[in-house]
Structure 1
Amino acid sequence: MRTLYDVQQLLERFGILVHLGKRLWDIELMTIELEHVYTAGLLDAKIYVKARAVLHREREYELRMQQKNHESSGKQHDR
């Protein structure tokens, strides 16, 4: 379990498909769905922890990219 695609494939095994149109929203909904699958007892704790770490990493990356894009667009407007 190393990539967001891996987490998507894991959730798909339980019939959960996520596509909201924005990557950050997808990650947040996948986190919620992963939690539901885990609390239902359908997922091993080791796999859950790995998938949760992937989602956390990807969410942090998306937030950094949004911040970077927001800052760079603000500089263009200042000119």
Structure 2
Amino acid sequence: MRTMYDVQQLLKRFGAYIYVGNRLWDIELMMIELKKIYDNELIERNDYINAMMILKREHRLETDYQEGLQ
């Protein structure tokens, strides 16, 4: 798993299709769903950590991008 698309595919395996319309909100909702999946022991710890790191990176990049527009 290397990209946000990979994380989306992981979430899709559990029936979580996320699209709110705002990329930042999408990422935050993905983090919440990923945590729920991990807490229910449906994915391994390494997969959870890797996916969360990808989402945190994307969140930081999107926040920086949106702040640059203002």
TM-score when scaled to structure 1? Answer: 0.87
The number of equivalent residue pairs is 70
In 1, the alpha carbon distance for the partners of 2:51 and 2:15 equals 17
- Equivalent runs, 1:6-25 vs 2, <5 Å: 6-25=6-25
In 2, the alpha carbon distance for the partners of 1:49 and 1:10 equals 13
Name the residue aligned to 2:2: 2
In 2, the alpha carbon distance for the partners of 1:3 and 1:69 equals 24
What is the root-mean-square deviation in Å for CA atoms of aligned residues? 0.4
| Structure 2 segments unaligned to the other structure (5+ residues) | none
SS at match of 1:15: coil
| Structure 1 segments unaligned to the other structure (5+ residues) | 71-79
Alignment of 1:33 onto 2:33: yes
Name the residue aligned to 1:43: 43
TM-score when scaled to structure 2? Answer: 0.98
Which structure 1 residue ranges, 4+ long, deviate > 6 Å from structure 2?
A: none
In 1, the alpha carbon distance for the partners of 2:40 and 2:11 equals 13
In 2, the alpha carbon distance for the partners of 1:61 and 1:15 equals 26
